[in-house]
Amino acid sequence: MINVAVLGYGTVGSGVVEVINTNNELINKRVGDTVKIKYVLDLRDFPGDVVENILVKDYDVIVNDPEVSIIAEAMGGIDFPYECAKKAIAAGKSYCTSNKELVAKHGPELIKLAKENNVNFLFEASVGGGIPVIRPINESLTPDDIVEVVGILNGTTNYILSKMAKEGSDFDTVLKRAQDLGYAERNPEADVEGYDACRKIAILSSLATGKYVNFEDIKTEGITKITDVDFKYANLLGLSVKLFGRFKKVDGKYFAMVSPVMIDKTHPLYSVEDVKNGILVRGNMVGDVMFYGSGAGKLPTASAVVSDIVEAARAIGRNINIIMSDEKLELSDISEFESRFFVRVKNADKDAIESVFGDVEIINLGEIDDEVGFITRSMTEKAFAEAESKFDNVITRIRIM
Amino acid sequence: MINVAVLGYGTVGSGVVEVINTNNELINKRVGDTVKIKYVLDLRDFPGDVVENILVKDYDVIVNDPEVSIIAEAMGGIDFPYECAKKAIAAGKSYCTSNKELVAKHGPELIKLAKENNVNFLFEASVGGGIPVIRPINESLTPDDIVEVVGILNGTTNYILSKMAKEGSDFDTVLKRAQDLGYAERNPEADVEGYDACRKIAILSSLATGKYVNFEDIKTEGITKITDVDFKYANLLGLSVKLFGRFKKVDGKYFAMVSPVMIDKTHPLYSVEDVKNGILVRGNMVGDVMFYGSGAGKLPTASAVVSDIVEAARAIGRNINIIMSDEKLELSDISEFESRFFVRVKNADKDAIESVFGDVEIINLGEIDDEVGFITRSMTEKAFAEAESKFDNVITRIRIM
């Protein structure tokens, strides 16, 4: 018998209970033992719910119960989950979490503590919802030097961008609808400003390099400045606009960034639409591999948490080697990172543009006569900023991959 | 020190040596020990090659060396690899293979033997080349009842179909070119008749259900009957033709099949082009997840073999639980399986077609005036065969998903 406690009975926490109850027989067979949910921690009451009789309000009841060997957390926030994780690990229990803030901030320390205590700190659900990506990087792509990771890591922004592309609507209209449908929070900042994607690419970069990439070091741009007019150009060019979390190793330097990026239809992430997520990983031996699926949602995310519970249950008494040390990885100055840029500029003619950017093809939407668009050659962020500063009428610029 | 022997120094075997040599430091760090290739088995000599001094021609040298703990096989064939695997496991060594014929035929027995001997039989490279898919199914999708697997599992046929779609060329022309480029064998039967995809979907079906799906029970159709005219209809309909290995659980019944299938652009496998592979797995909790990458090629496939070596090295003294028993899974009669069908028929009018198939939309290519195409409603293989038999002039039919 493997006794599990679930912290938080919100969307994901209740999903964890549902997954374990629904596929109980199958999960027990795969674990080789009986998995039982002994406690659910939540401050609320749930009269009539299946967990009614196993609800507790005091974490100490769980952490002091020697019968509990695995704790699955789906609470959100940082300080309390961090305390819970440390206490659980110190008490010889494995800790599985969907909490990306916790992993991005304290992952390396908790991984180290778990190793010292011969238990496990697992976090498959923290990136890509139900998509297996943390474990494949840690346990499958082991022969490879991971030189690049590109991901659509946030379902809310991908939904918004997909709808803007299809419907020609503006950002505010689609955001409002996403909020009404429950795809976006009332306070959408963490999603639309790219903060969520930033934490996720920080976690993936840390796994890729085996060192700690601090999310606070990653240049992060959201999608709030993307307009319906940008999509008119994108459609004309056959491009799609996605919010990418990117990590790239170039000549021994490491770069990471979150920003909107335009891609064409040959890119493997081109057809990742709506709330789906996709993560492309490039290894120096295996080439490109891509993982795709539901990046959020109750049952997909819960499935990923339960996959950690199953792995922790199979590994009781043994630490699974996750190589993500607390040694910090120094990211290179993003101003040296190279991209091509799509640029929209007001009241500028081809000669003025080409005197700064060199030969470009001018894109004219037709319906708007006081602006033009163009695509630059590949140039560093710094060189682009210098060139851009020579115009006082740049409307927007979006990187192109 | 972990001593490894590589059986076969062909494309994949030499790739294994190259991957280990190139990423040596990184692999050792991830294993937590030094991985050393002690022997390469091949009947040929390779004067001047890096393996010149570790070549052996007698397998007994390897299997009788107590220092060797992991054997990686990339030979092809069945009988000799099967003997090698049994001897290795009996001698307490783990066996990692890219050999799909071996896994499809003897996988459950070798998994069982490995368990009894507390070693491992691993086969990530047997399906999907470099794409992590075996381990994600076995170790990540553990909370899920896997109800469907759909895969583009053969790079050669996907290359041929992609080129036919893009260029309008006929099958023989593209096959010839694929052979000249080394993408297809001189004897292309195993690929173009679907036999290779059949073994791979058998392996995935076995993993999905935990029982043994015999590849010989799987109805298998290749792509040799697909013509350039079929692609004219496909293009008109916005569809793509792919060779799919399929496994599906429907109302407690299990179906498996290999056949060409038409899909539209909303299908996650639509944009898997050329020699790439893609595998879509549907779980009852996680929904659809998709894995994409290089389905063949020296270094991608070798990377997957080395990922097994790393896993076996990390697990020395411990069996990794792979749930694929030797209990046979009875597949249901494929005649009960339902699809829609695209049909081309010669010299038949709408009334004659609709009297048999019900209301259909007639598709007229224009340039060919003695035939029409149409798409049926969803019907069983049996019902379709009965309906089709009422016409003596059906040119072709392709299933639609």
Strand order in the sheet with A121-122: A55-56, A35-41, A2-7, A68-73, A94-97, A121-122
Residue B349 in this model has a pLDDT that exceeds 90: no
Q: Give the 3-state secondary structure of residue B399.
A: strand
Residue B348 in this model has a pLDDT that exceeds 90: no
* B294: contact with A, CB 8 A cutoff: yes
Phi, psi of B247 (to 5 degrees): -130, 135
CATH number of A336-400: 3.30.70.120
Q: Give the Cα separation of A363 and A373 in Å (integer).
A: 5
- Collect all residues of chain A within an 8 Å Cβ-Cβ radius of residue B315: none
Q: Give the Cα separation of B217 and A373 in Å (integer).
A: 58
**How many beta carbons lie within 10 A of that of residue B24, not counting itself?**
13
The dihedral formed by the CA atoms of A16, A17, A21 and A26, expressed in degrees to the nearest 10: 30
CATH number of B335-400: 3.30.70.120
Kindly report the nearest CA distance between residue B182 and chain A, in angstroms.
19
- List beta partners, residue B40: B6, B55
Residue A367 in this model has a pLDDT that exceeds 90: no
pLDDT digits (tens, 9 = 90+) for B316-341: 999 999 999 999 999 999 999 999 99
Residue with tokens 């007698």: B58
Distances (CA, A) of A380 to A121, A385, B17, B107: 39, 9, 38, 52
Mean pLDDT of A1-5: 98
Residue A65 in this model has a pLDDT that exceeds 90: yes
* A112: contact with B, CB 8 A cutoff: no
Mean pLDDT of A106-112: 98
Residues with Cβ within 8 Å of B151's Cβ and at least 6 positions away in sequence, in order, are B127, B128, B197, B200, B201, B204, B244, B245, B246, B269, B277, B278, B279, B280
Kindly report the nearest CA distance between residue A293 and chain B, in angstroms.
4
pLDDT the model gives residue B366: 85
Percentage of chain B modeled with pLDDT above 90: 95
Residue B187 in this model has a pLDDT that exceeds 90: yes
Torsion sign (Cα): B86, B89, B91, B97: positive
- Collect all residues of chain A within an 8 Å Cβ-Cβ radius of residue B139: 135, 139, 307, 311
In angstroms, what is the C-alpha Rg of chain A?
23
pLDDT digits (tens, 9 = 90+) for A9-29: 999 999 999 999 999 999 999
Q: Where residue B304 falls among pLDDT bands split at 50, 70, 90?
A: very high
Residue A349 in this model has a pLDDT that exceeds 90: no
ipTM comes to: 0.96
Residues with Cβ within 8 Å of B118's Cβ and at least 6 positions away in sequence, in order, are B92, B317, B318, B319
Q: And the tokens for B226? A: 């697909």
* A27: contact with B, CB 8 A cutoff: yes
Kindly report the nearest CA distance between residue B246 and chain A, in angstroms.
19
- Cβ atoms of B234 and B240 closer than 8 Å: yes
Percentage of chain A modeled with pLDDT above 90: 95
- Cβ atoms of A203 and A103 closer than 8 Å: yes
SS percent in chain B: helix, strand, coil, step 5: 40, 25, 35
- In the chain, the amino acid numbered A203 is I
Q: And the tokens for B353? A: 């077609």
Residue A182 in this model has a pLDDT that exceeds 90: no
CB contact (8 A) between residue A23 and residue B145: yes
> What average pLDDT does the structure give for chain A?
96
Q: And the tokens for B277? A: 């592979």
pLDDT the model gives residue B368: 87
Q: Where are the domains of chain B?
A: 2-129+298-314, 136-294, 335-400
CB-neighbour burial class of residue A391 (10 A; exposed 0-12, middle 13-18, buried 19+): middle
> What average pLDDT does the structure give for chain B?
96
Q: Give the Cα separation of B367 and B371 in Å (integer).
A: 10
- List beta partners, residue B94: B70
Domain A2-129+298-314 identical in fold to domain A136-294:
no
pLDDT the model gives residue B114: 98
Percentage of chain B modeled with pLDDT above 70: 100
Angle, helices B100-116 vs B79-90, to 10°: value is 20
Report whether B128 belongs to an annotated binding site. no
Residues with Cβ within 8 Å of B188's Cβ and at least 6 positions away in sequence, in order, are B156, B175, B178, B179
Looking at residue B212, the DSSP 8-state letter turns out to be: B
Nearest CA in chain A to B297: A286
Reply yes or no on whether A115 is catalytic: no
Residues with Cβ within 8 Å of B395's Cβ and at least 6 positions away in sequence, in order, are B344, B345, B346, B371
pLDDT digits (tens, 9 = 90+) for B210-231: 999 999 999 999 999 999 999 9
Report whether A189 belongs to an annotated binding site. no
Of B376, B369, B339, B366, the C-alpha closest to B261 is: B339
pLDDT digits (tens, 9 = 90+) for B154-163: 999 999 999 9
Q: Which of the listed CATH numbers 3.40.190.10, 3.40.630.30, 3.20.20.100, 3.40.50.720 matches domain A2-129+298-314?
A: 3.40.50.720
Q: And the tokens for B129? A: 């080349």
pLDDT digits (tens, 9 = 90+) for A118-148: 999 999 999 999 999 999 999 999 999 999 9
CATH top-level class for A136-294? Answer: alpha beta
Residues in A 195-214 with any Cβ partner in B closer than 8 A:
210
pLDDT the model gives residue B183: 85
- Under the phi-then-psi rule, with left for phi > 0, alpha for psi from -120 to 50, and beta for the rest, what region is B364? beta
* B236: contact with A, CB 8 A cutoff: no
CB contact (8 A) between residue A289 and residue B143: no
Q: Give the Cα separation of B156 and B166 in Å (integer).
A: 16
Q: Give the 3-state secondary structure of residue B310.
A: helix
Nearest CA in chain A to B129: A286
Q: Give the 3-state secondary structure of residue A382.
A: helix
Residue B266 in this model has a pLDDT that exceeds 90: no
- Cβ atoms of B338 and B251 closer than 8 Å: no
pLDDT the model gives residue A218: 98
Torsion sign (Cα): A206, A245, A265, A340: negative
DSSP-assigned letters across all residues of A50-62: TTGGGEES-HHHH
pLDDT digits (tens, 9 = 90+) for B268-301: 999 899 999 999 999 999 999 999 999 989 999 9
